Amino acid sequence: MQDFEQQLRDALARKEQPPYFEAKVLAATRRQPKPVFLRWAFATASALLIAAGIWTDHRAGIQAKEQLQLALRVTVTELGKVQRTVRASTEEE
């Protein structure tokens, strides 16, 4: 039995891989796409940046609208004052 097992060990002795194998694998690893989690991380980061940009634009838009409304209110008030002044001077004449 031991002889037969030794014969099997001899028959199944390790073989040498082809001489180019190591270089081929190393070259293939350089061509390999990034791991899935890195691609997901990149996609998530991109989406967050875009969302942050949109939110910033949105906030800036709201602020601009509020400033315009304030300016219009001030203008309306000032115009009212001018109109009242003009009307008062017209009545005096």
Partner 1 sequence: MPTAGAATEANVECPPNMTFAELLRANQSMVFSLAYHFLRDRGAAEEVAQDVFLRLHGKLDDLADSRHVVFWLRKVTSHRCIDYARKRGSQFTIALDDTSEPSVASQPGDPLLNRRLQQLIAALPEKPRMVVVLRYQEDLTPEEISEVLEMPVRTVKSHLHRSLAMLREKIERSMGDIR
Q: Report if residue 2 touches partner 1, rule: CB under 8 A.
A: no
Q: Report if residue 39 touches partner 1, rule: CB under 8 A.
A: no
3-state helix, strand, coil in the chain (%, to 5): 85, 0, 15
Query: Min. distance of Cβ 26 from partner 1 in angstroms?
Result: 6
Residue number, 37 or 89, with CB nearest to partner 1: 37
Q: Which of 24, 59, 65, 84 is close enough to bind partner 1 by CB under 8 A? A: 24
Task: Select from 6-14, 49-57, 63-71, 75-83 the region that touches partner 1 (CB under 8 A).
Answer: 6-14
- 66, 59 contact by CB (below 8 A): no
Query: Min. distance of Cβ 43 from partner 1 in angstroms?
Result: 18
- 80, 74 contact by CB (below 8 A): no
Q: How many CA atoms lie within 13 A of 92 on its CB side?
A: 6
